[in-house]
Structures are given as structure tokens and as C-alpha cells.
Structure 1
Amino acid sequence: MSIAMDKAMLALSLEEEDEPFQMPNLPQFKSSERNSRSLIGRILNPDCQKVSTVILDMPRQWQKQGRVRGVALSRERFQFIFDHEHDLLEVLEKGVHTSNDWTLALDRWMEFPPPDYLQYILVWVRIRNIPVNHYTEEAITALGELAGEVKVVAFDPDKPQREDYVRVQVRLNVSRPLRTSKVVSLPEGGTSVVYYNYERIRKRCFECQSLNHEKQVCPLIVGRRRDQSNERRAKAMEDRESVQSVLKEGDPLFGVLREEQVGFCKLTGRWKISPEVLEEMRRYLLSSSEADKWVRIERVRSSVAQAESNPISQKTVLRLEVAPVFTKQLDKGKGIVFDFDLNSPGDASQKAGNPTEKLMASAFKAGSKGSAFERLGDLSLGDMGDKRRVEERPMASAPAPFSLESGGETSQAKSDVADSTEYDSCLLTRSSGVCQQKQKVRRRPYIRKRQEQKAKTSSVLNVLYGEGSRSEKIGSKRKVVVEDDRGCKAAKLKESRVIPNEGSPHPR
């Protein structure tokens, strides 16, 4: 078996594999009749569009479900085959079609397409701000040619025009960016800016107005960023080369200190060692003799190394800056941080604190002064529709002391002080805290005087009810009870002293 396979492999020839396959010229091998009712299209932005999504969504957008079917021809091209010719024409008449808000290039199927097939689309363009002296068909056509090849001009100079634009249909090249405006020089002098708006075109690159990519991947922006990066790199190289050494040959500090010790710090934007300090070091070394020269060099090196080990010494000794002030007041000069990333809901609630505690603290503070209660005076509950005076009970003169063992207020303070958020007859809640109303003395006669006033009845009552019933009515609101013949008790009926014309109300 292996010998036969080896012979077959040796019999193969690469030249035979390179020969093209000849398609039979038979009717069953062609689909021209079916393709005559089809549209060929391609997506313009492969990064944001997919052929599979276009095939599933476009029949729904066209409202042709069941009457059109899509075929994926490649990663960028597709075909829609219609059952009826009028559905195909209706889709073409709608103009520009989009998928995922990006434009599609659609055209009718051609058996032998031209080289620029699916490179142009028909778009209606609105031309605005046309000069008033150039509202003519020729001028509008010339302005429309700036956007593309003009096919139709919707303009009638004999009818009123309600819109501030003129519509023209152009054959637009999808590989070129859209034109949004154009400066026009007028023959009578001056210039005018004409604006172009494209109908049914949604997303585009808002940097170059292209239909093939988004702004994030625009070649202009990418090229600009590359140029800026190259400029920064070149500038950094120039700065690195142009940096002059502080310690040059012939300098007394040359060889004593290293260049990185006296150079310019890019992180802080300051010199590592102040020029005044370096000048004093030079004078110190120049004033030495040959005997103690090396001793002073070692002193300079050791002092600089010792100062560099401590940030405070490096700040005050080497750079001659004022030493920082340390304070134990953690909230000294504290202000608001206007950064929403640092302010979480939990922090806000903790900073705000308990509103009840703030109100109670205000109440204690107001109670210690005493004058706040006196200024409050008599308050009525007119807003609640009640004309009664608010009566109050005496409040604790001062809060109970704070107990560390109990972890808060003592039980006496909790019992004496009412919650400021609850309504009480002796407390009025204000924005500044809890205020106590001034006590109102109740002016009411004592009980003996009230009884004497009740005993003094008028002569009219004596005439109507008689003297015998007066003693029974004083100090009591009960009705007179009488017994009938059967022993049942009932309220005594008041007899009318006025005799009507018809006779007595109780005839005998």
C-alpha cells in the first residue's frame, strides 16, 4: 500500500496544479437570472461593521422579511436577492442605508461591473448660506459640484422657499472625506462661507469627515501624535546634549563632587545644591594651603554626603530653603477638596455627623445662656390651625456630665433631655436647635370662686325652673330624674311656661 502511495506522489506534477479550472458554460452553472433582482453592497468601516450583522438586520430595516435573503460574499461584500422587482426599486429609491450607524455602499448587480463599482453612492446634500445674489440654477449646480457629481437639483425660483437651504443629489465618492464648508470669493468683492449637510449619513470621522474609520484611528490624528512624539523625543535628546556641566576643568570643585550631585533636578525643578553654597565651597578650597588642601576636600565631601542623607538638611543646608514647620494641629488650615473621586458617600455621611446630636448640642448651648428662651416669648401654633398656647414643662438647666465608663451620656441626661426630632409641647424645633417657650401662667379662678359664680343664677332661670330646682342644678350637670307609677326612672321634662293659642301642652 505504501509503495502505491509513493508512486502516486511521484506522479504528481506542480505544473498540473497551476493550471486554472475551466468552468463549464452551461445554464445550470449560472445564476444570472436570479442575480438580476439583487443588490451588491460592501461595508465601509470593517472595524465597526460586520457582514453577518448586515445580512440579519437589513431585511428588518427595509421591512422586507421573507421577501429578501442575504448572502455573504466576502468579509466586506454581501448580496441581497429580492423576490420581486418593486421591492428592489423601493430600497434603491430610499437612498443611503446604514448599519450600526455607519454607511453602506449599495448598487444593483452588474454582470460586468466597472472598475469603480461600489465606490460611489447617491446622497442628497443641503447647501446653506448661499449668497443672496447667486440663487440661480447655475450657481447652485456649481456649488454642488464641490461635494460631488451633481445628478439632481431641487430648486424652483418661481415658488416660495421656506427652508434656508437648497437640496442637490450628488454622486459621492466614499473614499474621499465629506466636505462640510467652502469659502467662496464673490465677484462683487468679499467672501462667503457655504455649508454642506448630508442627509441620512450618521457616523463619520469628526476629524477628517471620512466614512471609513472613527476619530480614534484617524490617520491624521495618528500621524499628528507620531509627529508630536518624534518632536518630544528629539527635543529631549537636544536638551540632554545641551545640558552643560556645572563642574568644569579648572573649577576647584572639579573632582571633589560628582556632576549628579550638583546638577539640576528635573523632578523638583530646583538645583540640588544652591549656587551660593557652591561658591562658598570654592572659596573654602581656594583659601587652603597645600598642607591642609586634602583635609578640606575630605571635609567638603563628608559634609555634602551627610547633608544628602537627611532630607531636612538637604533642604536647609544645600539648597538654602526654609525648614518646614511641623504642627500637631491636624486640621490646621484645612479646606474643602473639590475632587469627587476622593469623596465617597460613606465619608460624606461621617463628616455630616448625626443631625440629632447637633440639635441637642445647640439646645444645651442655648439653655446655658437662658436669654434665648426669654426672647422667644409667646408663640402660637397658627400654622397648624390651632389657636391654643403651647405649654411647656421645665427643662434641665444643664446637660449631665459625660461619662467615659458608660461611653456616652449618663442615664440621667438621657431621661431629662428629649429628642429634638420629636414633637413635644414644651419644645419648638428651629434651624438653630431646640428652643424652650416661656411659661404662660394660667389665669383661672380658683374652685370656690367658680362655685359662687355658678350659684348666682338670673331671675329668668328662677321664673322658668323655680326655686326648688336651683339647688339641684348648682355644681352638677346631671338631669333631674323622676319615677313614674311603674317605678321606672326617667328624665324630668321641662314644662313650658308659655301657653300657646291651642291650649296647654299637657291637657288634664
Structure 2
Amino acid sequence: MNRERKRKEPTLLEELQELELLDEGEMVGIPDLEIEDLIEENTLSVIVRCLNPHAHKVGGLVKSLPPIWGMEDRVRGRGVGEHRVQFIFNSESDLQHVLIKGLWFVNGWMVSLDQWSPNPGPDFLQRITFWIRIRGLPIHMVKKEIVESLLGPMGKVDLVELHAKNSNSLEYVRAQVSINTEEPLQFRRTARFRSGATIPTELEYEKLLKVCYTYKRLTHDQSRCPLQSNTSQELVKGGQAKSKEQNLRHKLLEKELKAKEVLQKSSGKGVVIRSSQTGEIQRGGRNKSSENREDKRKGKRVASSPQMVWKQKDGRGATKTSRSTGESTANQISSREKNEQRSIMEKSKGSRDLAELKEAGSAFKRLGSSEKSGSGGSRG
């Protein structure tokens, strides 16, 4: 049964280092001491560095490398720092065997090693010596100077073999080059000559088993590549943003459905939507046409809006009249009768006035005729 490995909690010192809270510290004077015995004791030793810490552990290297060298009883190892192991040999010959016969692998991943020195240089444990096969050079350009010029920018060229041993083939040329472990490996290089001609070449690293395919580095595998992890994080962020957008759309859709249900319930209680143009009435639902129709009045386009009209809802079976409805109907009838009576009274009054005017006119006519008759009698 595979159990998940517990993550090791960082120590206080590691936390301070990560937060960059450590200062240089106080300067302390040390007296001169004789250390020649310690230097002599460590002379026949090598320091091995874990290039891929995820694949190599210090304790694992201490146990794994002596059997690989075939020196279980002639070498002893111990951890001497972060990702570093020291192996002390019993003889100079065993030490030179390990230094010359490299490269060395553990779990398919390379380790770098150098002979111990009390004053190591800047390239200590930073380089690995590879035998590289160069393919693509034309026959008339297979020269040592061309190979050194082609591979020199990658590192120091120690040896060049123009012809493979015990072979008459010129398929490739071999060169021993010291490569920087902190830089990506190069698998193609183009030779450019003064004449302007260019020749592409391919480089094959002998005994190389594993490398990061993206960065071409020896310090991590493909699954732990920083470029790939950044890409996966971007994909995760994009997926989270997409899921948030989907959730928002889902919530908006739910709110819209709830609003429609509320409108349907309210329309079932007597709300009637009447279209101002066609006069069509729809109960308990939306208008069939989703867009508002437009009327053309006096050359202008006026958008008609639906009107909300309260109307008595038809009941099932016999028709029942509510008290409020009866009262409103009676009020409407009484007001109508009053208006009719008022109009009748106004008409009768007008006819009465007209009759009086006619009577007054006839009286004036009679007076006029009487005056005419009187004057005529006096003249006779």
C-alpha cells in the first residue's frame, strides 16, 4: 500500500533564510592552527553533487554509488552539506578510476563530482565532461580546428577524435567537452564560414539518459519543469475564471426564471396585458410578440407600450358579482340617469324660453296692429 510522504516542515533557520532575515554576523578572530593532518586525510576523496534533488537524496547516494563503482569495501561516504556527499578512498588508483571512468548515474540522472580541494575554484562541481558526437560535417571539413571552433563556446574541448577507433566510418566526429551543468544542453549548432556557407550539425551526448525536454537541463525532469508548471497554473486560473463565469450565468438564469414565475402568478390574479395596437388580450402569460410594435402617426414612428388594465376575472360556473363591482355598477347607472335627467331639464327649459319669446313676439305684433288701427280711425 502506497502511503503519501509527509512534507518535511522547514526549520527556523530555513525560514529565516527564505525571508532573508539573516545578517552577516559578528566577525570573530580564530588563532592559527595546524590543519595539515586534516588536509592529508581528505586528499584521497571526491565530492559528489546531486544535480536533481528530487531524484537524489544524500543518504541514497551514500548507499548507491559504492556498489556502482564496485568499491563497497574500499570507500566510505558521508554527507557534507546540502545535496553533497564526500567519498574517501583507500588508494589513489580507486580515486583516479572514479574520476576518469565517469559519467556516473543514479536512478537514470547524472551526478557531478570533483576531487576535493581545500580551496575550490568557481567551477567546482559546476561542470561535467561529456563525449559528444558531431554529425553533419562534410568530409573535406573534418578537421580538429573546425571541431574546436564549433564546440569551444560550450566549454573547454579536451580531446578530439576525427576517426572512431577500430572503424573506417566517418559518420560522426567525437570530442570531449566540459559542459556547464547550470546551462541548457545544446543539441544543434550551425557552422558558418567566411565564404558565407553554413552547415547545420547535430550533437549527441554519449551516456546521457534523462534531461528536461523543455529547458534541456539536467537539474529537473519534465514533470517539474518551471515553464510547464507556469503553463498549468495559467490553465488552472483560466478554468477557474471560466467556472466563475458559468456560475454567474447560471445564477442570472435562475433569477430570470423566478421573475417569470412571479409575473405569471400575478397575471393569474386578474392582471391583463392589452396591446394598444391590436387590442389582443392575453391572460397569465407574456405577449406573443417579443418586440413592441410601432404605430405611424402623423409621419412619426411612435413605439406603443403595453398597458396594464384591471379586468374582472371570469369565474367557473355561475357568474358572481362582488360587492365592490355591484356598487361601482350602481354608481355608474345613477350617474348616467342624472346626466339624462339634467339634459331633459335643460331641453325643456330651452323650449319654455322659446315659447315665451314667441308669445312676447306675438304680443308685440298685436300692439303694433292696434296702434295702426287707432291712427287710421283718427284720420277718418
TM-score, length-scaled by structure 2? 0.55
Deviates further, 126-135 or 185-194: 185-194
Where does residue 69 of structure 2 map in the other structure? Answer: 62
Deviates further, 197-206 or 209-218: 197-206
1:68 Cα deviation after fit = 0.9
Where does residue 228 of structure 2 map in the other structure? Answer: 221
Indicate conservation of the 8 Å contact 1:72/1:78, yes or no. yes
* CA distance in structure 2 between the aligned counterparts of 1:181 and 1:297, rounded to whole angstroms: 79
Indicate conservation of the 8 Å contact 2:75/2:88, yes or no. yes
Indicate conservation of the 8 Å contact 1:98/1:201, yes or no. no
Indicate conservation of the 8 Å contact 2:184/2:215, yes or no. yes
What are the within-5 Å matches in structure 2 for residues 107-122 of structure 1? 107-122=114-129
> Secondary structure of the equivalent of 2:149?
helix
* CA distance in structure 1 between the aligned counterparts of 2:75 and 2:141, rounded to whole angstroms: 46
Where does residue 296 of structure 1 map in the other structure? Answer: 282
Let me know the Cα RMSD of the aligned residues.
4.0
Deviates further, 42-51 or 228-237: 228-237
1:219 Cα deviation after fit = 1.5
- Structure 1 runs (4+) deviating above 6 angstroms are 231-241, 290-293
1:160 Cα deviation after fit = 6.8
The AA in structure 1 aligned to 2:275 is: S
* CA distance in structure 2 between the aligned counterparts of 1:41 and 1:218, rounded to whole angstroms: 23
1:137 Cα deviation after fit = 1.4
Indicate conservation of the 8 Å contact 2:126/2:181, yes or no. yes
What are the within-5 Å matches in structure 2 for residues 23-422 of structure 1? 25-27=33-35, 30-155=37-162, 161-185=168-192, 191-228=198-235, 260=256, 288-289=275-276, 296=282, 298-300=284-286
Indicate conservation of the 8 Å contact 1:97/1:200, yes or no. no
Specify every segment of 5 or more residues in structure 1 that has no aligned partner in the other structure, as ranges.
1-16, 244-256, 262-284, 303-508
> Secondary structure of the equivalent of 2:137?
coil
1:127 Cα deviation after fit = 1.0
Indicate conservation of the 8 Å contact 1:148/1:170, yes or no. yes
> Secondary structure of the equivalent of 2:110?
strand
Q: Deviation string for 1:1-26 (max 9, x for gaps)?
A: xxxxxxxxxxxxxxxx9674847613
- Relative to structure 1, the CA distance from residue 26 to residue 177 in structure 2 (aligned partners, 3 Å threshold; closer, same or farther) is same
- Relative to structure 1, the CA distance from residue 239 to residue 132 in structure 2 (aligned partners, 3 Å threshold; closer, same or farther) is farther
* CA distance in structure 1 between the aligned counterparts of 2:224 and 2:287, rounded to whole angstroms: 55
Higher Rg: 2
The AA in structure 2 aligned to 1:107 is: D
Q: Deviation string for 1:281-325 (max 9, x for gaps)?
A: xxxx997249988x63732299xxxxxxxxxxxxxxxxxxxxxxx
* CA distance in structure 2 between the aligned counterparts of 1:62 and 1:224, rounded to whole angstroms: 41
Aligned length: 247
Q: Deviation string for 1:33-77 (max 9, x for gaps)?
A: 111111112100110111111111211111112111111112301
Q: Deviation string for 1:84-121 (max 9, x for gaps)?
A: 11110111111211111111110011111123311112
Indicate conservation of the 8 Å contact 1:175/1:210, yes or no. yes
Higher helix share: 2
TM-score, length-scaled by structure 1? 0.42
- Relative to structure 1, the CA distance from residue 161 to residue 55 in structure 2 (aligned partners, 3 Å threshold; closer, same or farther) is same
> Secondary structure of the equivalent of 1:299?
coil
* CA distance in structure 2 between the aligned counterparts of 1:190 and 1:64, rounded to whole angstroms: 52
Where does residue 318 of structure 2 map in the other structure? Answer: none
Greater RCO (Cα-Cα under 8 Å, separation 6 or more):
2
Specify every segment of 5 or more residues in structure 2 that has no aligned partner in the other structure, as ranges.
1-24, 258-271, 289-380
- Relative to structure 1, the CA distance from residue 68 to residue 258 in structure 2 (aligned partners, 3 Å threshold; closer, same or farther) is closer
The AA in structure 2 aligned to 1:25 is: L
* CA distance in structure 2 between the aligned counterparts of 1:58 and 1:286, rounded to whole angstroms: 89
1:260 Cα deviation after fit = 4.6
1:202 Cα deviation after fit = 1.8
The AA in structure 2 aligned to 1:214 is: D
Higher strand share: 2
